[in-house]
Structure 1
Amino acid sequence: MTTRISVRGFAVASATAVTTVGAVVGVAAGGQQGTAEPVELAAADATLLADIPVGGNTQAQTASLTQQADLQADAASAAARKAAEESARKQAAQDAADKKQAAEEAKRKAAEEAAKKREAELAASRSAERSAPAAGGGDFPQQASYTVEQVKAMAQQIVGGGQFQCFSNIVQRESTWNYRAQNPSSGAYGLVQALPGTKMASEGADWRTNPATQIRWGLKYMNERYGSPCGAWQFWQANHWY
């Protein structure tokens, strides 16, 4: 509750002082003392002044209002910080989701491009010119034995440049270009490890000793089963057999 003090006594005292001064002035001027009456009436009226609050309590109220304003400002600042943090969190989550989606999309496109490339290579390999000389040796004279370089030269002529590397990759891993290679467990035989080796008789009775006969049989097998030596090589890479 605000403490107030009365100024009524102060007003009366002031009025008395003013009356006294008026009387003195009247005497000095040669007037009558009655001229001070209006002043007295004014002084009497001054006793109607309202009470005024004590200054100390006013300062306390002002300080309280200041504290309330500070608290409100702090609360508003905390709310603003919380809103900013929440907004930043949501933005970070959205950015992470966008990056993940972009990475998945790039991966999908890369897989599609790789598949298209493989299809194109396979189509090109199938349309590549294939050599197929007559069975039984053809233009290659019979020999008692053949070096690896001689066998590779035969294969390059029979298979053709477009498919030779794929054919060579398979032969290297199946027999290391040994036309007499035989698997003791399965019985697979020759350059391309035909199983059983007697299958190669369809290309010539000399299938045991003639690399050209084995090469022709292997080329025919790869073309019929995988479309081309490169198709067979792709399968071999995935399965380590063909």
Structure 2
Amino acid sequence: MSVVNANPVSRWSRLRGPFAGVAVAGFLSAAVVAPLAMPSAPADAETMAFQQRIHQEFVPNTTEEADLVFTDVGVVELPDPEEVRKKQEAKEAAQAQKEAEEAAARAAEENAGTSGDAGVGAPPKYTGGGSPAEWMAAAGIAEADWGYVDYIASKESGWNPNATNASSGACGLIQALPCSKVPGSGYDPVDNLRWASGYATGRYGSWAQAYAFWTANHWW
């Protein structure tokens, strides 16, 4: 024999408890989510323009940044101006020292040429007179070349027929080396210039070219 619940209300009450909680939770969730899902009011034109400007100024452009990072740019190395200046000064100092040494050597040659004998077996010193123009004319040097000859002879001996290089033995107006190669006498100005004229044209082609070589190299 089955027993029928005489109080259906109490049974419903027991069942309603769990379902009632679920229903309340669903209602509250709907109440919270509903406002978030509502579409916002459209912004006016001024607000949209301001937002667009802020985006352009402050939002980084990742594409441009990537280009800046990965673009291969060639590097051109420029010379250091200070290094260039130092090298130029060193070159000029070396040239000045060389010229000073050459001038000192020529001065020593001139002093040696006027201080006595050039050595045993050396040709006799020149004791005659004359001028450079007379000597060049007597040596058969064209007058058009006298300026070149004058420059070289002035540098080599100061137009001293008896100039002698104390270390090498070069002698005379053009400092023939060795002195014995000059036909006649290395200290005779005409003999020395006649030999020098053949040397200038034979080695350089002309007195003008010999002069150009001397000015570039300070010897010939």
Whether the TM-score (by the shorter chain) exceeds 0.5 is: no
TM, length-normalised to structure 1: 0.41
Q: Which TM-score applies when normalising by structure 2?
A: 0.45
The structure with more radius of gyration: 1
